[in-house]
Amino acid sequence: MVLTLRRITADQEITSQQTSVLGSLEDGPRRMTDLAAEHGVRLPTMTAQVNRLERDGRVVRGRDAADARVVTVELTPHGRDGLRAARERRVALLAERVAALPAADRDALAAALPALGRLFTP
């Protein structure tokens, strides 16, 4: 499912990986090391991702007030708008695909939602 969404949205302005990073910044600035750990990548990989987002004006880098060696990343208004648009496209795509399913399949999906929610809730 995730790979299908990535393939279908590959021509979008923001990649799914970038959308994921932007989503991690939605609640405020984050340390680069924390972002890398959350996304299961090494720091150089996250640095490359943040470089592209910064180049496009979607994030800005900063420094931690308590430790100037620590690099933080923060969402810009442009980044927040891009995140919202990417999510809207993804939801619209899924809604279209779900709507095309037979009623019995839609009912089965609806019945499975509580269990799926428990899978991803700590």
Residue 9's pLDDT is what?
A: 67
Residue whose tokens read 């927040």: 80
Q: What is the mean pLDDT of the chain?
A: 91
Q: Which residues touch 46 (CB under 8 Å, ≥6 apart)?
A: 21, 32, 35, 36, 39
Walk me through the domains of the chain, giving residue ranges and CATH numbers.
Answer: 1-119 (1.10.10.10)
- pLDDT tens string 72-103: 999 999 999 999 999 998 888 889 999 999 99
Q: Which own/partner contact pairs does 44-51 have at CB distance under 8 Å and 24+ positions apart? A: 46/21, 49/17, 49/18, 49/21, 50/21
Share of the chain above pLDDT 90, in %: 68
